[in-house]
């Protein structure tokens, strides 16, 4: 066993930072045995030293400036847990790498936007940039893609990778309450980011699917080409109607590779109730990977929280303690190229909801526009009137998304349409 400890500095002492301290303290002997050496906290740093926290941190050395911590000669690894895609997190990581310190981070936004540059910097300095905790909490999907499935030609990765959205959609269904009420409850419970669009707007899932796609397909991260649609437009009508048809609504991140290029999408989808995705409740995440030899494999677990996230961070620390220094994305970052982006346009059935004026000829006009774009109606249902208007639900036969969006755009402009139409892909996963 190595006599010299691995000395780490932790920047950020929120829920996850405190979770890491607790994890390293509680499982100290086991971690030392597995790592082959002690992993020692040699410095901690946060915005406020005297803030009341769940653990007594007085036994650890306080460093007031995170950039000073990045310079400390006695620290081997900087654990960045303050978040945010730019400074101060970016400068802390950049300076740590330039000082030949390993970095472990849970910062998916920063990796999605600056991961390629930082990975090249880590390679030049011959240190690690590890980010297992940035995607899917306690699910070790980064290591699975970098190591366990690295020999497979992976064609598709997809999953439920935002626990907040899954919680909101589950609660809407279980309590038969509309989005606005459940969203406020989730905010009060602290489940929603300060900027709600990161969660319910799909941006958090987009950060994660761009990282997963880069790892799976051996390409450079391309967050800007993720097509993003959140759950804000999902209503209780959609939840109950999906349930009546044997489906549940989930926010999915989907990435596909073909000979033409790579598509990356985040959007709500209807999935069969009895499917693996349909059975996911609350904050649980699941990622499915399709490879040419392994076929389909899936990974399920808690996607957030102090314990699961700390578990992934400590896993990265143990790798470094063992001397396992590998490329951040499974191959040299300097060799990764941005793949050709292609629009995700696999033929699918869609669920459509319209609020229409209830007068003669309305349905005929609607069906006529859909038919103009080659969209065939599988079945149609009209719900109880809302004054002079009526919600109309349609399920289409398989159609190209580009055709559907063109039809929706035209329908939304005519006088019979009284609110923005809602369309949701049906994925028979």
**For residue range 87-116, what is the model confidence (pLDDT) as tens digits?**
999 999 999 999 999 999 999 999 999 999
Phi, psi of 287 (to 5 degrees): -125, 135
**Greater pLDDT, 415 or 340:** 415
**Greater pLDDT, 103 or 49:** 103
Report the catalytic residues.
208
Measured between alpha carbons, how far is 427 from 249 in angstroms, rounded to an integer? 10
Dihedral over alpha carbons 187, 21, 44, 96 (to 10 degrees) = -90
As a three-state string, the secondary structure of 232-264 is CCCCHHHHHHHHHCCEEEEEEEEEEEECCEEEE
For 259-320, list the strands marked E by DSSP: 261-272, 284-291, 295-302
Lowest average pLDDT, out of 45-49, 80-84, 338-342, 348-352, goes to 338-342
For the chain, list the domains and their CATH numbers.
6-134 (3.40.50.720), 141-303+328-335 (3.30.360.10), 349-426 (3.30.70.260)
**For residue range 60-78, what is the model confidence (pLDDT) as tens digits?**
999 999 999 999 989 999 9
Write down how long the chain is.
429
**For residue range 159-168, what is the model confidence (pLDDT) as tens digits?**
999 989 999 9
At 118 the pLDDT is: 98
Binned at pLDDT 50, 70 and 90, residue 344 comes out as low
At 283 the pLDDT is: 83
Distances (CA, A) of 398 to 37, 205, 377, 423, 427: 57, 26, 9, 13, 11
DSSP state for residue 100 in the 8-state scheme: T
Whether the pLDDT of residue 259 is over 90: the answer is no
**For residue range 308-330, what is the model confidence (pLDDT) as tens digits?**
999 999 999 999 999 999 899 99
Measured between alpha carbons, how far is 278 from 421 in angstroms, rounded to an integer? 24
- Tell me which residue of 306, 280, 313 sits closest to 158, measured CA to CA: 280
**For residue range 167-214, what is the model confidence (pLDDT) as tens digits?**
999 999 999 999 988 998 888 877 788 888 889 999 999 999 999 999
Specify whether the CB–CB gap between 135 and 212 falls below 8 A.
yes
Task: Give pTM, 2 decimals.
Answer: 0.93
Q: How confident is the model over 215-228, as a mean pLDDT?
A: 95
């Amino acid at each position: 066993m190595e006599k010299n400890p691995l000395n780490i500095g932790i920047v950020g002492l929120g829920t996850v930072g405190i979770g890491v301290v607790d994890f390293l303290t509680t499982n100290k002997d086991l971690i030392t045995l597995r790592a082959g050496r002690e992993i020692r906290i040699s410095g901690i740093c946060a915005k406020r030293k005297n803030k009341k926290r769940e653990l007594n941190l007085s036994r650890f050395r306080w460093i007031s400036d995170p950039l000073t911590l990045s310079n400390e000669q006695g620290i081997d690894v900087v654990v960045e847990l303050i978040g945010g895609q730019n400074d101060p997190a970016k400068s802390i990581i950049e300076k740590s790498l330039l000082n030949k310190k390993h970095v472990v981070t849970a910062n998916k936004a920063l990796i999605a936007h600056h991961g390629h540059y930082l990975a090249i910097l880590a390679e030049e300095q011959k240190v690690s940039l590890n980010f297992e905790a940035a995607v899917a909490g306690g699910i070790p999907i980064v290591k699975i893609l970098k190591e366990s499935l690295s020999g497979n030609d992976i064609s598709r990765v997809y999953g439920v990778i935002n626990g907040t959205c899954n919680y909101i959609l589950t609660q809407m269904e279980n309590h038969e309450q509309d989005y606005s009420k459940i969203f406020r409850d989730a905010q009060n419970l602290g489940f929603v980011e300060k900027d709600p669009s990161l969660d319910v707007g799909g941006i958090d899932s987009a950060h994660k699917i761009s990282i997963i796609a880069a790892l799976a397909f051996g390409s450079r991260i391309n967050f800007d080409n993720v097509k993003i649609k959140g759950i804000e437009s999902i209503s209780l009508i959609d939840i109950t109607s999906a349930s009546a048809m044997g489906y549940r609504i989930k926010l999915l991140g989907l990435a596909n590779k073909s000979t033409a290029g790579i598509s990356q999408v985040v959007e709500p989808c209807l999935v069969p109730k009895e499917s693996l995705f349909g059975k996911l409740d609350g904050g649980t995440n699941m990622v499915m990977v399709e490879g040419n030899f392994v076929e389909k494999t899936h990974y399920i677990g808690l996607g957030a929280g102090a314990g699961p996230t700390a578990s992934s961070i400590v896993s990265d620390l143990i790798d470094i303690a063992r001397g396992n220094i590998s490329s951040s994305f499974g191959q040299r970052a300097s060799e990764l190229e941005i793949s050709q982006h292609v629009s995700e346009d696999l033929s699918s059935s869609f669920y459509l909801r319209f609020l229409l004026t209830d007068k003669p000829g309305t349905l005929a006009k609607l069906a006529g526009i859909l038919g103009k774009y080659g969209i065939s109606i599988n079945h149609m249902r009209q719900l109880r009137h809302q004054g002079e208007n009526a919600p109309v639900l349609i399920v289409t036969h398989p159609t190209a998304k580009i055709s559907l969006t063109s039809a929706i755009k035209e329908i939304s402009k005519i006088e019979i349409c009284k609110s923005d139409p809602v369309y949701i892909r049906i994925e028979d996963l």
